[in-house]
Each structure stands twice: as structure tokens, then as C-alpha cells.
Structure 1
Amino acid sequence: MPVVLGAARRLTLLEMGDDTADALGVPPERSRLVPPCAGTGLTAMAVAAAGPVPVVAMAAPRLARRVTRAAGPDVLPAAWTGALLVSAADLATQRVTGSALPPAGVVTGVADGAYPAWLLRKERRAGAV
């Protein structure tokens, strides 16, 4: 975050145009690299801190839409589906492993990898028919 806050002035000057920013001492090429690099770093730190459990956020809305068959975005069904997925992953780790408990993120990571693969396979079969 300090990098983003420190680059805010440069990015504001960059909005005036490359020539103006360069005249004011702001290198446009280097300044354009700050937001994507900072965003990637912040995302990596969030995943490192929380583990693979947030990957559920990618699968939960798709599953909720399949269950409810709603056309628009349904936040509440997606939230309940995500909570159900994480709870099921935790229950599965408790029941399957016995005394050695791996984190629930391992099960959600495997499940969230298998679900998109299943969707791709299903779409490939539907396209081949």
C-alpha cells in the first residue's frame, strides 16, 4: 500500500498527458508499471495470507447460478453456496483424514480445480454433438 500511495501523485500528473508529466519530471513509462505491479503484489500477499480458500469465490457464483437458474447476479445465493462449499471441505477433511487434519484450503483447491475442468469437458462434449 505505501507504494500505491507514494505513486498517487505521479499517476495524477500522468493524467495530464505524457508530455506534461515528462515536463514535470515524471517518467511516463515507469509510472505506468506501478499500478499493475502493485496490484499483483497485493493480490499475492492476500492469497498468501488467506490460503487457497478464497478460490471458492470463483466457483460459488457459478454453482449458485446453476442451482437457482437466475439470469442476474444473485449475491445471497452465491454467499450461501460459498459458505456451504467451505463447510463441506472442512467436514471432508475432518472425516477422511482422522487425526491428521490438513487445512480445508487443500480440499477447496482440489475441488475448485476439478469443477472448471468438469465444465470445460462438458462444454467440449456439447460442442462435439
Structure 2
Amino acid sequence: MALFKKARGKGIGSLATSLFNQRRRVATFAAAGLAVAVGYHVVFGHNGLTVYEQKRQETISLDRQLNDLNRDNDRLQGHVDRLQSDPNAIEHQAREELHYTRPGEVIITLPPDPKKP
């Protein structure tokens, strides 16, 4: 209403100009609001930058775990290969785990160190 009262005394040309200026202001605020909303979504949205950074850190951690597991797997595969082909490795394993001895040998087992948990 105030717009029409202001423009009534000035004529149709000034009414059109003021409507145009009002429409431009509203469009500018709408575009600014949309830009803020899009920016917020880009940073904090479902697939935003914060989620991307978390996923990147998780990927790095999983790659490290995968490398560690691959190293362990290679080490264990080498151990299996030695046990399948090397009689000395088989004897060593039997002596360590099963406490086997050769004839005439005696095993002496010491009590555990009380300082170590």
C-alpha cells in the first residue's frame, strides 16, 4: 500500500521504476540466499567437504591396514613354504611348539621372569 501511495503523486513512470527496483532487490536477496544455501550444502551437506575429508582419512587408514595385512600374509606364506619344503624348519617348529627332543636331549624349562607381566 505504501508503494502505491508514494507513487500516486508522481505518476505511472515512477511507479514502474519503483516496482522494478523492488523486484531487483527481492531477486538480489533471493540469489544471495540461494548462494548461501548452496555453499552450506557444499561444505556440510550429505556429500560435502567435511564428509569428503572424513572419507579420505578413513581411506588412508584402511590402506595402511591393508598394507599391514598384506605384509603379515606374505610373512606367513613364506613360513608355510618353509615348513612344506625345509626339514630344518619343520624340526625347529616341532621343538618350539611341541617341545620335541632328539634322543638323549633334555629340556630345561625356566620359570617366567617375575618382573615381566
Task: Tell me which protein shows more helix as a share of its residues.
Answer: 1
Larger radius of gyration: 2
TM-score, normalised via structure 1 length: 0.27
Return the structure number with greater relative CO, CA threshold 8 A, min gap 6: 1
